[in-house]
């Protein structure tokens, strides 16, 4: 039996939200399909003089609320099916966040680690030239994703401006600050996860203060490390963190900044003084109040769901909890999962702030960015809680969040006369 595809999962989630929110079937039929999918061939001259042709994609799912928005990933397993599903999920993420944007996603089937810097630049510029007629600050705005970064966005911007022969800083986001990037972007996802965790504690664990609550974080890359640092500043006790090589635990709590310094020196959190070594499996099953999976997808599954003890799971990563596990935790353990497209929306929110700054030729202070990000995250969280209460708390939080996101897009399509 073949494995279910990302697109099939996305369709199932959409149909479930439609039933719960009682959304017009005509709108759902439209939303099942991306408005446009672009497939391009990108010939690149390699360092040895040969020509290699790479396949790239851009899926533009829905722009009823505004220009398409979504990352570009460079990964050997990129497929059209995956990119379509990711663009659909972006539609829900920007909708739930209250942004005037639609969902898009792009990718190139390539292992960037196998390319030289020159080959990577030529690949990026070729991809930009191929999709340039279909993107722009008011049309579709890419950003980094797996395998891409601020440098790739700098090349992207430069090549696009050469194609259109005009300054268009807002064509991509998460650019270097020197080229119009936003201050605060580097930690925005982690800060958003921390804010949502704090708000979820107030709502669902209200009898306890942050100082009384223990937190375990799986993943100590950009998202996990900044989440830990900001939660620590808010008063939470971080007792365990991990990366791909293993984890560390201290019942007395860890200093996230010191752990990060250790990781930068040794390339892992493992071996940090005054903490014992644990496995990633052990971290997930620790007796803590809050668990934040911020690394990989599908880490909380039917295989370990009965061993999860945290009462609050906040998804820093994309898709770390399987639907079966989420349902089990909710019904059998009375544990709540704050879904990824709410918890980790800080990145796309600050990307939108970057668009606004580019449109208006201004740059906000870092404090201004953080203040606006916090307000936007709290507003989105409160809407989800209100919807969950409206549904008598009978469904998982993800269903309440999806209901809001899909309904907002459906309403916009209805007003435009699309159905």
Q: According to the model, what pLDDT value does residue 290 have?
A: 97
Both 282 and 142 in one domain: the answer is no
Q: According to the model, what pLDDT value does residue 200 have?
A: 97
| Domain CATH for 65 | 3.40.50.10860
Q: According to the model, what pLDDT value does residue 284 have?
A: 97
pLDDT at 45 over 90: yes
Both 192 and 262 in one domain: the answer is yes
Q: According to the model, what pLDDT value does residue 287 have?
A: 96
**Residue where a domain terminates, one of 340, 369, 392:** 340
pLDDT at 274 over 90: no
**Pairwise CA distance, residues 60 & 67, whole Å:** 9
Q: According to the model, what pLDDT value does residue 154 have?
A: 98
Report yes or no on 87 lying in a domain: yes
Rounded to an integer, the average pLDDT of 163-174 is: 97
Both 210 and 332 in one domain: the answer is yes
Q: What is the mean pLDDT of the chain?
A: 95
**Please, which pLDDT band fits residue 296 given cuts at 50, 70 and 90?**
confident
**Residue where a domain terminates, one of 301, 316, 340:** 340
Tokens of 349: 């929110």
With 0-12 CB in 10 A as exposed, 13-18 as middle and 19+ as buried, what is 211?
exposed
Query: Structurally, how many domains does the chain consist of?
Result: 2
Q: According to the model, what pLDDT value does residue 208 have?
A: 82
Both 159 and 114 in one domain: the answer is yes
Both 218 and 288 in one domain: the answer is yes
Question: Over pLDDT 90: what percentage of the chain?
Answer: 92
Measure CA 399 to chain center.
18
Rounded to an integer, the average pLDDT of 64-72 is: 97
Both 272 and 300 in one domain: the answer is yes
Both 212 and 158 in one domain: the answer is no
Going by C-alpha positions, the residue among 399, 348, 339 that lies closest to residue 101 is 348
Rounded to an integer, the average pLDDT of 23-40 is: 97
Q: According to the model, what pLDDT value does residue 9 have?
A: 85
Report yes or no on 254 lying in a domain: yes
pLDDT at 405 over 90: yes
Catalytically annotated residue among 32, 52, 93, 105: 105
Range of the domain at 110: 34-169
| Domain CATH for 211 | 3.40.50.720
Report yes or no on 288 lying in a domain: yes
Q: According to the model, what pLDDT value does residue 1 have?
A: 42
Report yes or no on 125 lying in a domain: yes
Of the chain, the end-to-end C-alpha distance in Å amounts to 37
**Pairwise CA distance, residues 416 & 342, whole Å:** 26
Both 119 and 227 in one domain: the answer is no
**Pairwise CA distance, residues 324 & 132, whole Å:** 41
pLDDT at 60 over 80: yes
Rounded to an integer, the average pLDDT of 91-113 is: 97
Rounded to an integer, the average pLDDT of 213-238 is: 96
Both 99 and 44 in one domain: the answer is yes
281 is catalytic: no
CB atoms within 10 A of CB 227: 34
**Residue where a domain terminates, one of 340, 362, 391:** 340
341-394 pLDDT, tens digit each: 999 999 999 999 999 999 999 999 999 999 999 999 999 999 999 999 999 999
The CA R_g of the chain, rounded to the nearest whole Å, is 21
Report yes or no on 181 lying in a domain: no
Q: According to the model, what pLDDT value does residue 305 have?
A: 95
Both 141 and 279 in one domain: the answer is no
Both 286 and 151 in one domain: the answer is no
pLDDT at 2 over 60: no
Both 47 and 156 in one domain: the answer is yes
Report yes or no on 411 lying in a domain: no
Q: According to the model, what pLDDT value does residue 239 have?
A: 97
pLDDT at 219 over 50: yes
Report yes or no on 240 lying in a domain: yes
Report yes or no on 417 lying in a domain: no
């Amino acid at each position: 039996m073949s494995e279910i595809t990302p697109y099939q999962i996305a369709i199932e989630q959409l149909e479930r939200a439609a039933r719960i929110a009682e959304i017009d079937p005509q709108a759902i039929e439209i939303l099942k399909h991306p408005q446009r999918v672009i497939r391009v061939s990108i010939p690149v001259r390699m360092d040895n003089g040969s020509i290699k042709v790479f396949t790239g994609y851009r899926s533009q799912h829905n722009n009823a609320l505004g220009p398409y928005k979504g990352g570009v990933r460079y990964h050997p397993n990129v497929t059209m099916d995956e990119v379509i599903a990711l663009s659909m999920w972006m539609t829900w993420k920007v909708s739930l966040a209250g942004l005037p944007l639609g969902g898009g996603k792009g990718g190139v089937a390539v292992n960037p680690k196998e390319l030289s810097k020159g080959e990577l630049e030529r690949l990026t510029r070729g991809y930009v030239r191929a999709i340039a007629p279909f993107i722009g600050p008011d049309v579709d705005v890419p950003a980094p994703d797996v395998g891409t970064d601020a440098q790739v966005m700098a090349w992207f911007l430069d090549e696009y401006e050469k194609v259109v022969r005009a300054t268009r800083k807002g064509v991509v986001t998460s650019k270097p600050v020197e080229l119009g990037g936003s201050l605060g972007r580097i930690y925005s996802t982690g800060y958003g996860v921390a804010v949502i965790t704090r708000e979820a504690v107030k709502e669902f664990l209200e009898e306890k203060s942050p100082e009384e609550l223990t937190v375990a974080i799986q993943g100590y890359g950009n998202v996990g490390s900044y989440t830990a640092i900001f939660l620590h500043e808010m008063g939470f006790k971080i007792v365990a963190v991990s990366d791909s090589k293993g984890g560390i635990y201290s019942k007395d709590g860890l200093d996230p900044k010191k752990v990060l310094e250790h990781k930068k020196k040794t390339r892992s959190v493992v071996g940090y003084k005054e903490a014992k070594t644990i496995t990633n499996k052990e971290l997930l099953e620790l007796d803590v109040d809050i668990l934040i999976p911020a690394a990989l997808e599908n880490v909380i599954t039917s295989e370990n769901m009965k061993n999860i003890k945290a009462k609050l799971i906040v998804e820093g990563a994309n898709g770390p909890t399987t639907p079966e596990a989420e349902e089990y935790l909710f019904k059998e353990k009375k544990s709540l999962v704050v879904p990824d497209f709410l918890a980790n929306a800080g990145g796309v929110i600050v990307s939108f702030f970057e668009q606004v700054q580019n449109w208006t030729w201004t740059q906000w202070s870092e404090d201004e960015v953080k203040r606006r990000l916090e307000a936007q995250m709290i507003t989105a969280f409160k809407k989800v809680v209100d919807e969950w209460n409206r549904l008598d708390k009978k469904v998982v939080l993800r269903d309440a969040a999806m209901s809001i996101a899909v309904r907002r897009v459906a309403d916009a399509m209805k007003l435009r006369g699309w159905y």
